[in-house]
Amino acid sequence: YLVTLGITPTRPDTGYGYIQFVEKKNSEYFKVKTFTEKPILELAQSFLESGDFLWNAGIFIWNMKSIHHAFDMYLPEMTQHFMACEYNS
């Protein structure tokens, strides 16, 4: 898994990125649906009113196997950069 931490917003704020989540009943963990970086105030207000957005805390949790797999799938050119770092360590 790739995990990102979110904070329940208390007001519309253009200084934060917003994580939209797909709610699972009876769970504290949610699947990320979208991410919006520092929206305009009107959009931030609509995010707050919808109830399915969190502020991005900028804290990410994963292990190397998971992040390598994600880069292989979604940004394969990044895999080369990771491999170069591993061999130069």
Per residue of the chain (89 residues), what is the pLDDT tens digit?
Answer: 899 999 999 999 999 999 999 987 778 889 999 999 999 999 999 999 999 999 999 999 999 899 889 989 999 888 888 777 766 55
What pLDDT does 82 receive? 74
Residue 46 CB partners (closer than 8 Å, separation 6+): none
Question: How many domains does one find in the chain?
Answer: 1
Please calculate the CA angle 13-15-17 and round it to the nearest 5 degrees: 90
CB of 54 within 8 A of CB of 19? yes
Q: Residue 41 belongs to what domain range?
A: 3-88
